[in-house]
């Protein structure tokens, strides 16, 4: 048996329902009046009310279909009636400091952040007299540090709670089980020390085994984070320089930086592609800030895209770079991973040149790969499986 089954079932998440093992959830965080919701509107073509959360608890959700020229060309080649791109779900959460002023973020907000695959932190550099900064001055480096503290405090609470529960269990354990518990406690004590020093865990030296051990805690400062520097329209022409400056300071393992003018990008999202391009050229902008956010997100998350063509649907899928073919098959459906036999693989440009899978087989270009094959960016896969 080969091919694709139906999409995986939907599962509950703190703010709605999404496909299990499906596309990414990205939590957008920031201090009050940072332009966080403006950036959300730009990314999603949304119309959420901007200017701060009056009630302090409002959350916006938007799903974005990632533009993909390769998918478009493949769908045209195979005359697919349906082209399904990768989808990202952005969750625009209430301003963090406003939440902590009320005694800490709600369990719902923390749950949403913990369930997110990555975080987007919007920090403000724009000056507007009608939108005064809550701290009375514009200081993006102060604001970045403040957000790091907020996230570290949330993680510290999780770690301390786990240590409190773990200690009596370890003491009462049998010798064979106690060793594993003591290792966990030792790791958590080290993590606790870093968090008490307000150091994000993504900046700490952790082995692959240690990161795996911490994964179940969904610690916020371990999550990949994209710093979005929100500049004013007067500084739009300086975006490359501003981005370079912030990247030199904050770009590191698990972190990336992109600069854009949120207000301008939100307005451009209302225009056609041709009108937006013309407007950017008039402003001296070389590319789309929204597109750079998407590109940096994929880079930050270490993701690649592969494709399947089954029936009348051509579909794009994302997996972490280096994912084995059998695990990639599970992205499509768990039965395909469980009953994996082999994968037929070919690069997207090669299949365009050949015209069809049959022709690729005839020319010997279509490769047969086993379960351990590391899927490459742009691969077109045909999965053979048996259940």
Regarding whether 376 and 242 lie in a shared domain, the answer is: no
Beta bridge partners of 310: 313
Regarding whether 333 and 239 lie in a shared domain, the answer is: no
Regarding whether 342 and 203 lie in a shared domain, the answer is: no
Structural domain contains residue 153: yes
pLDDT of residue 249: 94
3-state SS record for 8-54: CCEEEECCEEEECCCCCEEEEEECCCCCHHHHHHHHHCCCCCCCCCC
Structural domain contains residue 6: no
Task: Give the separation between CA 260 and CA 277, rounded to whole angstroms.
Answer: 15
Q: Pinpoint the alpha helices (H) of 222-338.
A: 239-250, 262-268, 273-283, 289-301, 325-332, 334-338
Regarding whether 326 and 291 lie in a shared domain, the answer is: no
Mean pLDDT of the chain: 86
Structural domain contains residue 7: no
Regarding whether 288 and 209 lie in a shared domain, the answer is: yes
Region 28-47: mean pLDDT is 91
pLDDT of residue 222: 93
Task: Give the separation between CA 41 and CA 62, rounded to whole angstroms.
Answer: 9
Q: Is the pLDDT confidence value at 73 over 60?
A: yes
Regarding whether 330 and 225 lie in a shared domain, the answer is: no
CATH number at residue 359: 3.10.20.30
Indicate the length of the chain as a whole number: 387
- Interacting residues of 89 by C-beta distance below 8 A, sequence separation 6+: 18, 23, 24, 25, 26, 61, 62, 63, 64
Of 301, 334, 356, at which residue does a domain stop? 301
The pTM of this model reads: 0.85
Domain assignment of residue 145, given as a range: 14-67+87-301
C-beta separation of 125 from 356 below 8 A: no
Predicted confidence (pLDDT) per residue in 193-241, tens digit: 999 998 899 988 888 889 888 988 999 999 999 999 999 989 988 999 9
pLDDT of residue 23: 79
Residue in 339, 301, 341 with CA at minimum distance from that of residue 323: 301
* Number of domains, the chain: 2
Q: Is the pLDDT confidence value at 140 over 50?
A: yes
pLDDT of residue 1: 38
Q: What 3-state class would DSSP assign to 337?
A: helix
Predicted confidence (pLDDT) per residue in 149-201, tens digit: 889 999 999 999 999 998 888 888 888 778 888 888 999 999 999 999 988 99
CATH number at residue 155: 3.40.50.300
C-beta separation of 192 from 156 below 8 A: yes
Q: How many CB atoms lie within 10 A of CB 286?
A: 8
């Amino acid at each position: 048996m080969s091919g694709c089954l139906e999409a995986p079932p939907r599962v509950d998440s703190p703010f709605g329902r999404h496909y299990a093992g499906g596309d990414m959830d990205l939590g957008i965080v920031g201090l009050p009046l940072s332009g966080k919701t403006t950036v959300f509107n730009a990314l999603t073509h949304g119309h959420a009310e901007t200017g701060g959360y009056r009630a302090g608890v409002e959350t916006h959700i938007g799903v974005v279909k990632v533009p993909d020229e390769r998918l478009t060309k493949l769908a045209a080649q195979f005359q697919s009636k349906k082209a399904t791109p990768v989808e990202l779900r952005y969750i625009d959460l209430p301003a963090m400091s406003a939440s902590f002023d009320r005694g800490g973020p709600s369990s719902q907000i923390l749950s949403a952040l913990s369930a997110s695959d990555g975080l987007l932190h919007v920090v403000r550099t724009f000056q507007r007299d009608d939108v005064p900064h809550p701290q009375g001055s514009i200081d993006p480096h102060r604001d970045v540090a403040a957000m790091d503290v907020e996230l570290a405090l949330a993680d510290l609470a999780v770690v301390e709670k786990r240590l409190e529960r773990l200690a009596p269990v370890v003491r009462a354990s049998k010798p064979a089980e106690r060793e594993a518990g003591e290792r966990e406690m030792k790791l958590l004590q080290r993590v606790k020390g870093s968090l008490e020093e307000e150091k994000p865990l993504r900046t700490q030296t952790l082995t692959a085994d240690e990161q795996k051990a911490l994964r179940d805690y969904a610690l916020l400062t371990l999550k990949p984070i994209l710093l979005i520097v929100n500049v004013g329209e007067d500084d739009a022409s300086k975006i490359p320089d501003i981005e370079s400056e912030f990247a030199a300071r904050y770009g590191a393992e698990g972190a990336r930086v992109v600069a854009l003018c949120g207000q301008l990008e939100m307005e451009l999202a209302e225009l056609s592609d041709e009108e937006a391009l013309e407007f950017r050229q008039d402003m001296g902008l070389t590319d789309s800030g929204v597109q750079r956010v998407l590109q940096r997100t994929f880079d930050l998350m270490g993701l690649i895209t592969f494709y399947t063509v089954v029936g009348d649907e051509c579909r794009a899928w994302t997996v972490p770079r280096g994912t084995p073919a059998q695990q990639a098959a599970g992205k499509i459906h768990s039965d395909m991973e469980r009953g994996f036999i082999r994968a037929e693989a070919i690069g997207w440009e090669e299949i365009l040149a050949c015209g069809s899978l049959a022709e690729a087989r005839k020319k010997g270009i279509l490769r047969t790969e086993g379960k351990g094959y590391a899927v490459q960016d742009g691969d077109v896969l045909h999965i053979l499986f048996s259940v």
